[in-house]
């Protein structure tokens, strides 16, 4: 069933999923449970951390799996193992020995090492479909979980050649029920892909954030949205990320070596420029590595899929609107846009230090800019199109 071409699972068989057991009530496990509960699925929860399990249940993610019950009389349609990569194979083996479900999947961000260890432990690979929902947050635990965490995201499925077709169909259906788009690919291809789009970027973000330790308070006061965007994911759990990187070491190292080479070439060019007598001595030849990296960076950013699918939409126009820092202000702004018949595709808010206001950066389609600007201005908003 493995498809290294990256074919999406849209043509697969759709099967009803009524009962799911989630083993692990952290961010991802609880988010899966919340998404399935919103679709009317009966979700049982299990976690060795009693406090985490209790909070997930209190959030409405499901009910506790009674360990004393014999699950073989009524196995779930699917068991989702939301545990660290190192323990997934052993948890899978115990769950299969108990007959916890008809089909099993996991949500780890690495796949090849998990599958290899599961094979070594003698897990039933016919009923196990390794998975990875491409959604997450820098926060951890059930308290950070969201039912919409996977909405519009890809959900990688990495079945081995032993996986049963119906098992793949069940996991693909659960991904769709969580609002995600299932994508079948080979485990090694998956690990190379996430090294490029997730794991190495996290390390790069951490490297930038680590430099902030050397900055004084005055420097950090100047921190704007740019550095916040670049370092957001650096707030993740170091222990968890150390384990992820350990399980995907070679692909991540390859990407980081390439990034390091780009940064070194840029740093050398800037140092050479700084050592010249004056700015007028700068030449295109000296700055060529800098221009090259910036151009390739812009082109690479342009390849990131847009919110409506895999084909990136034309760039949105950003319309700055001054907004008071008070309850309900953002809701009133959105209501005014809705009244004008304009969809806000994305929004960023820049707060003004020391002042009770900020700037809402509204991302809209270019053809809607004039309509929205007129409507908001007529409603009393301070609008600044073209900035």
Q: How deeply is 94 buried, as exposed, middle or buried, from its count of CB atoms within 10 A (0-12, 13-18, 19+)?
A: middle
End-to-end CA distance of the chain: 51
Distant-in-sequence contacts of 377-386, Cβ < 8 A, 24+ apart = 379/336, 381/321, 381/322, 381/323, 381/333, 381/336, 382/321, 382/322, 383/319, 383/320, 383/321, 384/319, 384/320, 384/321, 384/322, 385/317, 385/319, 385/320
Element (H, E) at 171: helix 165-177
Homologous superfamily of 317-383: ACT domain (3.30.70.260)
- Written as tens digits, the pLDDT of the chain (387 aa) is 334 444 444 444 567 899 999 999 999 999 999 999 999 999 999 999 999 999 999 999 999 997 545 545 689 999 999 999 999 999 999 999 999 999 999 999 999 999 999 999 999 999 999 999 998 877 788 998 999 899 889 999 999 999 999 999 999 999 999 999 999 999 999 999 999 999 999 999 999 999 999 999 888 888 888 898 899 989 988 998 999 999 999 999 999 999 999 999 999 999 988 887 655 555 777 889 999 999 999 999 888 886 544 444 456 888 899 988 888 888 999 999 999 999 988 888 876 555 677 888 899 999 999 999 999 999 999 988 766
Question: What DSSP character marks residue 69?
Answer: S
Distance of CA 235 to the CA centre of its chain: 14
Specify the residue for token string 């780890």: 108
What single string gives the DSSP state of each residue in 303-314? TS--TTSSSPPP
SS3 category, 66:
coil
Give CA separation, 294 vs 204, 241, 260, 298, 356, in Å. Answer: 16, 28, 15, 6, 36
Across 266-277, b (16+ Cβ under 10 Å) vs e yields: beebeeeeeeee
Question: What DSSP character marks residue 8?
Answer: B
Question: In which order are the strands placed within the sheet that holds 357-364?
Answer: 346-351, 357-364, 317-324, 382-383
Instruction: Enter the tokens of residue 192.
Output: 């190379």
10 Å Cβ neighbour count for 311?
7
User: Looking at domain 19-184, which CATH architecture does it have?
Assistant: 3-Layer(aba) Sandwich (3.40)
* Domain ranges for the chain: 19-184, 207-276+283-302, 317-383
In this chain, the answer to whether the domains covering 19-184 and 317-383 adopt an identical fold is no
């Amino acid at each position: 069933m493995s498809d290294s071409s990256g074919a999406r699972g849209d043509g697969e068989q759709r099967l009803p999923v009524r009962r799911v057991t989630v083993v692990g009530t952290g961010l991802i496990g609880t988010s899966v449970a919340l998404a399935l509960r919103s679709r009317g699925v009966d979700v049982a929860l299990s976690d060795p951390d009693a406090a985490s399990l209790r909070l997930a249940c209190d959030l409405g993610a499901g009910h506790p799996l009674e360990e004393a019950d014999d699950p073989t009389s009524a196995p779930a349609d699917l068991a989702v193992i939301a545990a660290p990569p190192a323990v997934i194979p052993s948890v899978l083996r115990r769950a299969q020995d108990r007959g916890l479900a008809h089909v099993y999947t996991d949500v780890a961000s690495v796949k090849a090492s998990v599958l290899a260890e599961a094979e070594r432990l003698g897990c039933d690979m016919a009923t196990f479909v390794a998975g990875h929902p491409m959604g997450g947050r820098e926060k951890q635990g059930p308290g950070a979980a969201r039912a919409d965490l996977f909405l519009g995201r890809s959900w990688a499925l990495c079945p081995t050649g032993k996986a049963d077709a119906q098992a793949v169909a069940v996991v693909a259906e659960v991904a769709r029920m969580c609002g995600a788009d299932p994508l079948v690919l080979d485990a090694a291809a998956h690990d190379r892909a996430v090294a490029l789009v997730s794991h190495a970027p996290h390390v790069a973000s951490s490297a930038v954030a680590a430099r902030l330790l050397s900055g004084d308070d005055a420097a950090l006061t100047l921190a704007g949205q740019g550095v916040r965007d670049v370092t957001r994911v650096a707030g993740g759990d170091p222990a968890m990320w150390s384990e992820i990187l350990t399980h995907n070491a070679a692909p991540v190292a390859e990407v980081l070596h390439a990034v390091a080479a780009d940064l070194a070439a840029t740093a050398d060019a800037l140092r050479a420029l700084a050592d010249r007598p004056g700015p007028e001595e700068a030449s295109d030849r000296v700055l060529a590595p800098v221009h090259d990296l910036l151009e390739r960076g812009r082109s690479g950013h342009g390849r990131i899929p847009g919110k409506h699918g895999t084909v990136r939409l034309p760039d949105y126009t950003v319309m700055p609107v001054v907004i008071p820092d008070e309850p309900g202000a953002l809701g009133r702004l959105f209501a005014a846009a809705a009244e004008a018949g304009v969809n806000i595709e994305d929004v960023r808010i820049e707060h003004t230090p020391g002042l009770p206001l900020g700037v809402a950066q509204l991302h809209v389609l270019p053809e809607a800019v004039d309509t929205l600007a007129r409507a908001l201005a007529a409603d009393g908003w301070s609008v600044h199109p073209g900035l």
